[in-house]
Amino acid sequence: MINNVHEIVPEIAENVRGGNGTAYAHKLLDLYPGSAIKSVGVVRLDPGASVGAHSHNGDEDFYYCISGTGIVVDNGVEHAFTPGTLQITRDGETQAIRNTGETELVFLGALIATPSEFK
């Protein structure tokens, strides 16, 4: 399977998970049958936009910063989110993210089912 982010029309969402502003999700992979990978995509947040705090149950998520600047909240603790930063949310943990910069915050996100042997 080959997908190119430049060929994907983004899904546009407002106030994601109780956050603010607009998020654009370029879904490279969504609910791939027979795989632990639930989704992979590039997300863009407008300046001031955020994804509200949410928990993961039965899956794990990661955010990898491509460009822009923001704050990622890992289990209630804020951390700088700049290019090269990876944030991982394990099964049962919480996360949130917000764009604190003057330009779009762009990150790669992936949602993966937690294997039963790790529960």
Domains of the chain: 12-118 (2.60.120.10)
What is the pLDDT at residue 114? 85
Q: What confidence score (pLDDT) does residue 103 get?
A: 98
Judge whether 89 and 62 are in contact, CB under 8 Å.
Answer: yes
Which residues in the chain show pLDDT less than 70?
Answer: 116-119
Q: Which structure tokens are listed for 82?
A: 């700049």
Backbone angles phi, psi at 117, to 5 degrees: -70, -10
Taking residue 33's Cβ as centre, other Cβ atoms within 10 Å add up to 4
State residue 62's pLDDT score.
96
- pLDDT number for residue 117: 55
